[in-house]
Every structure is written in structure tokens, then in C-alpha cells.
Amino acid sequence: MGIEKRVTELVEEKIADRPDLFLVDVKMHVNGKLIIHVDGDQGVSIQDCVAISRHVGYHLEEENAIENAYNLEVSSPGIDAPLKLGRQYQKNIGRSVALKMIDGTKREGTLLAASEKELTLLETVKEKGKKATQLEAIVPLDQITETKVLISFK
């Protein structure tokens, strides 16, 4: 069994009693860095990350699952990490997002809704010589290559 698959099972086992938490990603890098990204509907605490790290580390050691030295890193995805899961979209409704489309264009707007197939964005459209208007747009997820939350420091 691949190490990423085993780690995924261990994380899912550890957070089974925490419906507010969810696994975003597990990645084993060639340099021996094992990175686990976990998120939560209300965020994820350091205590949650520590508990997951201890659980995964303990079982990997018990099973002697990784032969070489490795670094285990458990965190929430960074604020600048692209959204990957439907739950991450749900959690960010009401926030400004930037989309990269498969045709190379970029779009920005406020995320109003998200479903399994599409996003609803409130975009500001500015035509020359006219006042900016707000338009609601439906954007199919299969047309998006990347979605990032825009951070405002105003």
C-alpha cells in the first residue's frame, strides 16, 4: 500500500469523531517531507494538528511504514493555497475569490454559492464611461483551474 494512502486512512481514523474537520491533502515528497493538510468548517487548531501528527507518527513508527528518515508536517492549508474541496468553497462563501480559467482568463468576485458543479460569483463589471455594475455569474467548476481566496487588509 502506498504511504499516502496509509496516511490518509490514519488521518480519517483520527478525525472520525470530529465531523467539523476534513482532510484536504497528503503528500510524501522525495526529500522525506510528509505533509498533511487538514481543514475545518470553523478552522483547525494547533491542538488538532498535534493530535493528528501524534496519531499518524505513532502508527507509522509501529508499522515501520517508512524506511528512511522523514519529517511529518500537519497544518491547515496556507491562506494562499488554492481551494481543492467543495467544503472549502462552502466555508468561504461571502469572501472575495480569484479564479483562473482553463482559457487563461482570470475572474474575481464575491463567492455567493457553491455546488458540486458550479460557483455563483458576484462580479463587478466596469464598462468605459459607465458606472460599475454588480452582476451575478454562474461559473462551471470544470472551467476553473484554480480558485484562491483574496485577502483584504483594509
pLDDT of residue 66: 85
| Closest by CA position to 71, among listed 31, 20, 38, 119 | 31
For 146, half-sphere exposure in the C-beta direction (CA atoms, 13 angstrom radius) is 11
CATH fold for the domain made of 86-149: SH3 type barrels. (2.30.30)
pTM, two decimal places: 0.81
pLDDT of residue 125: 84
- Mark the ranges of the chain whose per-residue pLDDT is less than 50: none
Does the domain at 3-75 match CATH 3.30.300.20? Answer given as yes
pLDDT of residue 1: 62
Strands laid side by side in the 21-28 sheet: 21-28, 33-40, 71-75
All structural domains of the chain with their residue ranges: 3-75, 86-149
